[in-house]
Amino acid sequence: MKDFIIIGAGQAGLSMAYHLTQLKKEYIIVDANSETGAPWLKRWDSLKLFTPTEFNHLPGMNFPNKKGYYPDKYEVAAYLKSYVEKFQIPITFNQKITALKKEGDYFVLKSESEIFKAKNVVVATGPFHKPFTPPFSTEISKDIIQIHSEHYKNPEQLQNGDTLVVGAGDSGVQILDEISNTNRKVYFSGDTNITSIPQEILGKTLWWWFKKIGFLSVSKFSYIGKKLSKGGQPIIGTDVKSLLKKENVICVGRTLDANDTELYFEKGNSKNIKNIVWATGFKPNFEWIEGVTLNDYKYPKNYRGISDVKGLYFLGLPWLYTRGSATLGGVKKDTKFLTDYIEELEEKPAYTNIVLKKHFA
């Protein structure tokens, strides 16, 4: 029986582990992967953070690169491994938790091979769970290579010929940019009315300006936060207008349907596409947690990570409190708040009722 079990050994889980160590709690992290940093290493080869080094620090240990540097995925994974080693964080790998429920005063967690028990649980599995592709993707010919952005590594995975990239988020735009540099014809499916922002403005990083104007500390409960959290996120670091003007990039609007080798778009159709990269995002999956209340977006209802089930907490969700809640450097504020809450709860048990009644009534 542990005081805490953290599910997920990503930045949110490791940040929480640091604080639990300071509180001298008995805890472990259980993680579905085989090593620290695995989710980063699985992503495409050319991936780089759009946040510079100084905005990527976890509590107690700064990111090692110089200020203004944009780390790649390998450097992020190495940093997380070093973090685990420095603070001797106990992690049990290859344990995907498939069921979680509360039994009396403790929680029972089940994987395919183990049962774990803890008085408290922190779910830090992040926002990316089930890769989404449209239902008609199953109607597409087997001769066309289909890859979700979760499994895309580089253009060498693709066969010769025209390629379709679907999705206008950061992943879609970066992958489109990379594939367009192979000089093949690339169809882009998505909204072309994308706001893009350079990584540096007037000699300062974009994130320096974000911090200066308070953009990073705006909570989702404020008027500005409510507007920002419901709107689309700008693309950072890629000149989208120039990208979409390339001769070999063809904008086709939304992808509507498919029939064998023919794909139908808002702007025409094509029978020549040989590869499709679905940068269409992910759907959350928290159905394995018994008793938790989900909101309209299928994320657990919570106040800054505190759920409506006593002893059950969440970290690393998009807009858990601010825009940075799901980012490498942004999780430390949420974990600090949660740690302070846990300390206060031990001294004043009635404190939990005040918070829960205020935010879950």
Residues 6+ apart with CB under 8 A from 83: 14, 18, 58, 61, 89
Strands 235-236 and 196-197: parallel
Categorize the per-residue pLDDT at 71 as very low, low, confident or very high, splitting at 50, 70 and 90. Answer: very high
The CA angle 23-24-28, to the nearest 5 degrees, is 105
Structure tokens at 184: 């093949």
Query: Is the C-alpha dihedral spanning 348, 349, 351, 352 positive or negative?
Result: positive
pLDDT for residue 105: 94
Q: Which residues contact 44 (CB under 8 A, 6 or more apart)?
A: 149, 152, 153, 154, 174, 175, 178
The upper half-sphere exposure of residue 7, i.e. CA atoms within 13 Å in the direction of its Cβ, equals: 26
- Among 358, 311, 256, 330, which Cα is nearest to 119's? 311
User: Domains of the chain (ranges plus CATH)?
Assistant: 2-129+284-360 (3.50.50.60), 132-195+236-278 (3.50.50.60)
Reported as a pLDDT band with limits 50, 70 and 90, residue 184 is very high
Reduced to 3 states, what is the DSSP secondary structure of residue 225? Answer: helix
CA 132/CA 279 separation, integer angstroms: 9
SS3 214: coil
Q: What is the pLDDT of residue 347?
A: 76
Q: What mean pLDDT is reported for the chain?
A: 92
Angle between helices 351-360 and 331-347 in degrees, nearest 10: 130
Pick the closest to residue 352 from 279, 298, 282, 303 (CA basis): 303
DSSP at 109: E
Pairing verdict, β 115-123 and 106-110: antiparallel
**Mean pLDDT of the region 39-56:** 93
* Block residue for tokens 């657990």: 300
pLDDT digits (tens, 9 = 90+) for 74-89: 999 999 999 999 999 9
pLDDT digits (tens, 9 = 90+) for 150-177: 999 999 999 999 999 999 999 999 999 9
Backbone angles phi, psi at 21, to 5 degrees: -65, -45
pLDDT number for residue 360: 57
Tally Cβ neighbours within 10 Å of residue 171. Answer: 22
